[in-house]
Amino acid sequence: MKEISAGGVVYRTTEAGLQIQLIQDRYGKISLPKGKMEHGETVEQTALREIKEETGLTGRIVAPVDQIKYRYRDDFKGPVDKEVHYYLVEATGGELQAQVEEIRGVEWFTPEEAWRRQRQSGYDNNDRILAGALKLLGIEVEGHA
Return the domain boundaries, the chain. Answer: 2-136
pLDDT of res. 110? 96
Range 2-136 has CATH code 3.40.50.300: no
Q: Which parts of the chain have pLDDT scores under 50?
A: 145
Instruction: Identify which of 124, 122, 116, 120 has the alpha carbon closest to the alpha carbon of residue 134.
Output: 116
**Per-residue model confidence as pLDDT tens digits over 104-120:** 899 999 999 999 999 99
The answer to whether 58 and 10 have CB atoms below 8 angstroms apart is no
pLDDT of res. 144? 57
The answer to whether 89 and 111 have CB atoms below 8 angstroms apart is no
What's the residue count for the chain? Answer: 145
pLDDT of res. 42? 98
Question: Which residues is 87 bridged to in the sheet?
Answer: 8, 64
